Amino acid sequence: MSKRQKPRANRKPQTPNPEPQTRSSSPDLDPVWKALSDPTRRAILDLLRDGPRTTTDIVERFPELSRFGVMKHLDVLRDSNLVNTREQGRQRINSINAVPIRQIYERWITPFSELWAAQLLSLKREMEEK
């Protein structure tokens, strides 16, 4: 042996530390936030807001994307529970599920709107006293 190697210490394999749970994060809504972060997925939701659509119809509305690309976006939306899909014969009918969006509204918008309302009421009282 030309070189002497140091013996390696027995180490446990390192696993990434999970992100600490904070009050501002909600694991149930993380997939929803991920789904909403993409403009194409938001456009698909805008399309479905007008009513249920077949996958073929959605694909036709996005000519810049392949059928496979649109279907991957639909998979993310389904996985986040933002879109429901049912089969009708050979077609897949996609519809929006507003429940996760409502949960985001209740978690993030409602508390701040109450705060804003209280501050506006306080400002109104101050102005009336002058």
Answer left, alpha or beta for residue 124, where phi above 0 means left and psi between -120 and 50 means alpha: alpha
**What was the pLDDT predicted at 27?**
60
Cβ pair 38, 69 in contact under 8 A: no
Amino acid at 128: E
Q: Are 102 and 28 in contact (CB under 8 A)?
A: no
According to the model, what pLDDT value does residue 112 have?
Answer: 76
pTM as predicted: 0.65
Over residues 38-58, the pLDDT tens digits come to 999 999 999 999 999 999 999
Selection from 41, 80, 64 nearest residue 49 by Cα:
41
Please give the pLDDT value at position 96.
96
- Does residue 9 surpass a pLDDT of 70? no
